[in-house]
C-alpha cells in the first residue's frame, strides 16, 4: 500500500508555520526569503507535492487546456494536436484532446463537456465556426480558434484561405487545367463554409470549370469519394481541401489504374510530412504547422493567464510544388 502523500498541513507542522504561509512560500509569494528556503527544504524532505485537484478546487484553475479537433482522422490535425500538446506541456499545462468525428452536434456536446470539466481554456479547430453556441461558450472561458474565425474568441490563428485557394487554383490554371474538381470534407451543417465561397469566387475569376464534391472523414471515406469522382466524367485535376483527402485520391487512382499526374492531377492543402514521400510527391499548399502551433499555444496561454486583449494571427500559405500536377499542353 503506497503510504499517503504528505499534505500542506504536515509541511506546516514540520516548519512551525501555518498552512497559509506554506502555501504562499511554495508559490514564492509574500514571505521572507529565509522562510521560503525553510519551507522548500521541509517540502523536499517530506516529498510534498501540492495536490492538483485540491488546488484546482480552491483556485478555480485546473492547468488544463481543452483541444477540440474537427476530425482526428485527418493526419494533419493529428500532427497539430501532437504539436499543441507538446507546446502546452512546456508551459506546464496539460492538453485534453477530443475528437468531434466531423460531426457538428458532437462538437457542440464536447465543447460543453470540456467547459464542465473546468479546463482553463479551449483551442478549437471548428467544424462549424458559425454555430450559435460558440459566442455563448466564449463568455465562460477563453477560446482560441484555429483555421476559421469564431465570434467572441480570446484569440485566433486564422488561415488566409482566400490566399490559399488563389495559390492552388492559379497554379492549376497556369499549368493549363480548366476542369477542376474540388474535394472537401463533409460538413453537414455548413454547406457554405468560407473556404468554399473563396473557391467559387476564384474559379469565376480564373475562368475555371469547377465541380465540388465532399468526402466523409477518414482515408476510406476519401478513397470512396475519390473513386466515384474519378469514375465519372474525369476532371483534369482534383484540388483536395486537405492532404489526407488527397491521399484518398492516390488510393482511388491506384484502384482504378489511373496514373498521377498522367491521367489526373492532384493538389493538396496542408503539407503533411508524408506528402513528400508519395510518388509522385504531392503538390500542396503549406501552412507552416509549427507556426500555427506556436501561435495557438501562445494565445491560449496568455488568455488563460488572464492577460490579453483579443489577438488575431493571420497565417499565410506558400506553395509546395512537387510532382502531382501535370502541365497540360
The candidate with the shortest Cα–Cα distance to 141, out of 110, 118, 108, is 118
Q: How far apart are CA 125 and CA 148, in angstroms?
A: 8
The candidate with the shortest Cα–Cα distance to 93, out of 265, 256, 296, is 296
One residue of 33, 34, 90, 139 binding a copy of itself per CB under 8 A: 139
User: Smallest distance from the beta carbon of 23 to DNA, in angstroms?
Assistant: 3
The candidate with the shortest Cα–Cα distance to 295, out of 316, 314, 271, 319, is 314
Query: Does 219 contact a copy of itself by CB under 8 A?
Result: yes
Alpha helices in the chain (DSSP H): 8-15, 19-26, 33-46, 52-59, 75-90, 104-116, 133-140, 161-174, 194-206, 219-231, 243-256, 289-304
One residue of 30, 52, 188, 316 binding a copy of itself per CB under 8 A: 52
Which of 109-113's residues contact partners 24+ apart within 8 Å by CB, and which partners? Answer: 110/68, 111/66, 111/68, 111/137, 112/137
Query: Does 329 contact DNA by CB under 7 A?
Result: no
Query: Does 54 contact a copy of itself by CB under 8 A?
Result: yes
Count, residues near DNA per rule CB under 7 A: 33
The residues in 223-252 that bind a copy of itself, with binding defined as CB under 8 A, are: 247, 250-251
- The distance in angstroms from the start CA to the end CA of the chain is 76
Using CB under 7 A as the criterion, what x/- string covers residues 59-98 for binding DNA?
xx--------------------------------------
Query: Does 48 contact DNA by CB under 7 A?
Result: yes
One residue of 57, 188, 197, 314 binding a copy of itself per CB under 8 A: 57
Binding site for DNA (CB under 7 A): 4-9, 16-21, 23-27, 30-35, 48-51, 54-55, 57-60
Binding site for a copy of itself (CB under 8 A): 1-2, 49, 51-54, 56-57, 62, 72, 75, 78-79, 82, 85-86, 89, 94-99, 116-118, 139-140, 219, 247, 250-251, 254, 273-274, 276-279
Amino acid at each position: 500500500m503506497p503510504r499517503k502523500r504528505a499534505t500542506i498541513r504536515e509541511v506546516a507542522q514540520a516548519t512551525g508555520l501555518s498552512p497559509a504561509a506554506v502555501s504562499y512560500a511554495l508559490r514564492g509569494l509574500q514571505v521572507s526569503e529565509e522562510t521560503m528556503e525553510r519551507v522548500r527544504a521541509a517540502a523536499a524532505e517530506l516529498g510534498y507535492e501540492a495536490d492538483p485537484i485540491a488546488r484546482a478546487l480552491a483556485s478555480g484553475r485546473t492547468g488544463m487546456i481543452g483541444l477540440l479537433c474537427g476530425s482526428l482522422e485527418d493526419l494533419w490535425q493529428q500532427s497539430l494536436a501532437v504539436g499543441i500538446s507538446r507546446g502546452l506541456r512546456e508551459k506546464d499545462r496539460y492538453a485534453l484532446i477530443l475528437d468531434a468525428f466531423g460531426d457538428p452536434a458532437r462538437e457542440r456536446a464536447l465543447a460543453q463537456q470540456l467547459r464542465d470539466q473546468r479546463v482553463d481554456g479551449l483551442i478549437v479547430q471548428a467544424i462549424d465556426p458559425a454555430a450559435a453556441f460558440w459566442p455563448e461558450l466564449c463568455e465562460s472561458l477563453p477560446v482560441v480558434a484555429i483555421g476559421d474565425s469564431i465570434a467572441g474568441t480570446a484569440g485566433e490563428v486564422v488561415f488566409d484561405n482566400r490566399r490559399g485557394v488563389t495559390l492552388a487554383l492559379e497554379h492549376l490554371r497556369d499549368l493549363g487545367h480548366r476542369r477542376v474538381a474540388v474535394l472537401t470534407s463533409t460538413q453537414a451543417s455548413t454547406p457554405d463554409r468560407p473556404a468554399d465561397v473563396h473557391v467559387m469566387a476564384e474559379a469565376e475569376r480564373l475562368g475555371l470549370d469547377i465541380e465540388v464534391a465532399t468526402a466523409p472523414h477518414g482515408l476510406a471515406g476519401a478513397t470512396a469519394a475519390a473513386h466515384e469522382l474519378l469514375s465519372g466524367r474525369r476532371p483534369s485535376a482534383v484540388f483536395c481541401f486537405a492532404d489526407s483527402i488527397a491521399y484518398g485520391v492516390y488510393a482511388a487512382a491506384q484502384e482504378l489504374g489511373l496514373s498521377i499526374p498522367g491521367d489526373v492531377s492532384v493538389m493538396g492543402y496542408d503539407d503533411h510530412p508524408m506528402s513528400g514521400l508519395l510518388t509522385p510527391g504531392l503538390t500542396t499548399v503549406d501552412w507552416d504547422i509549427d507556426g500555427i502551433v506556436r501561435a495557438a499555444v501562445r494565445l491560449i496561454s496568455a488568455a488563460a493567464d488572464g492577460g490579453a486583449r483579443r489577438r488575431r494571427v493571420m497565417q499565410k500559405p506558400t506553395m509546395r510544388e512537387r510532382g502531382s500536377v501535370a502541365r497540360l499542353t
